[in-house]
Amino acid sequence: MQNLSRDYIIGLIDGEGSFTVFLRDDGKYRRVEMHFFLKMQEEELPLLRSVKSFFGCGYISFQKDKRRNHRNCYRYEVGSIKDLKEKVVPVCKGRLQSKKRKKDFEIFCRILEKVERKEHLTEKGWNEILKLKGYLHK
């Protein structure tokens, strides 16, 4: 396993990273799931293991792709609010170069702050998060 620099990690995130929010509302409970993903082709599994070691959290899963002309991949994922706040956000804050990734990260951080303050449990907070989520990945 190789030791990766913060700059190298930022480059990977700029190119292949994703900051994603899932909103779950079953009519009784509302839940916000937040995830940081880094997906790479299967021959890059050792690199993803080094990324996981760098952050000291998260997990790696296999992702079989059934589409033609696509290869199987592995995905590194962090979904713990605590790990996102304490490990992923500090590494990325102020360092991302990709305009799209930087915008998504900033929105992701705003949603993360609202979730930490439990604003998603109020109607107003839920609607604000729903609106912010609409700006992700655009």
**Quick check: is 138 in a domain?**
no
**Quick check: is 123 in a domain?**
yes
- The domain that contains 76 carries what CATH number? 3.10.28.10
| pLDDT of amino acid 67 | 65
What is the distance between the alpha carbons of residues 86 and 47, in angstroms, rounded to a whole number? 22
Note the pLDDT tens digit of each residue in 44-94.
Answer: 999 999 999 999 999 999 987 776 666 789 999 999 999 999 999 999 999
**Quick check: is 1 in a domain?**
no
**Is the dihedral angle over the CA atoms 114, 18, 96, 104 positive or is it negative?**
negative
Number of domains composing the chain: 1
Query: Per-residue confidence at 1, pLDDT binned at 50, 70, 90?
Result: low
**Quick check: is 126 in a domain?**
yes
Query: In which domain, by residue range, is 29 found?
Result: 6-133
